[in-house]
Amino acid sequence: MAYTFKCKDIGYDCSFEFKAQLKKDLLPRIRIHTKYAHNIFEMSPEMQKKVEDASKEEK
Ligand SMILES: [Zn+2]
């Protein structure tokens, strides 16, 4: 079981994908990506919510 995040699921024309065993491991990695790739230095609560909704569990 793993969680997958695809950057295009939050609306970016971007091929970044990240997989983690734990959902809580996704967010720090996604923060780094959005910072360097999309110039988001501070993630808003709305953005965090989007990220969480876009992080899907794989079976
Ligand atoms: Zn991206």
Q: Which tens digits make up the pLDDT trace of 4-48?
A: 999 999 999 999 999 999 989 999 999 999 999 999 999 999 999
- CA–CA separation, 15 vs 26, rounded Å? 16
Using CB atoms within 10 A of its CB, is residue 34 exposed (0-12), middle (13-18) or buried (19+)? buried
Å from CA of 59 to ligand 1 middle: 24
- CA–CA separation, 47 vs 30, rounded Å? 11
| Model pLDDT, residue 58 | 86
In eight-state DSSP terms, residue 11 is T
pTM over 0.85: yes
| Model pLDDT, residue 59 | 79
| Model pLDDT, residue 1 | 84
Neighbouring residues of the ion ligand 1, judged by CB less than 5 Å: 7, 12, 14, 16, 37
Amino acid residing at 56: K
Edge-to-edge strands, sheet with 2-6: 17-20, 2-6, 56-58
| Averaged pLDDT, 40-58 | 94
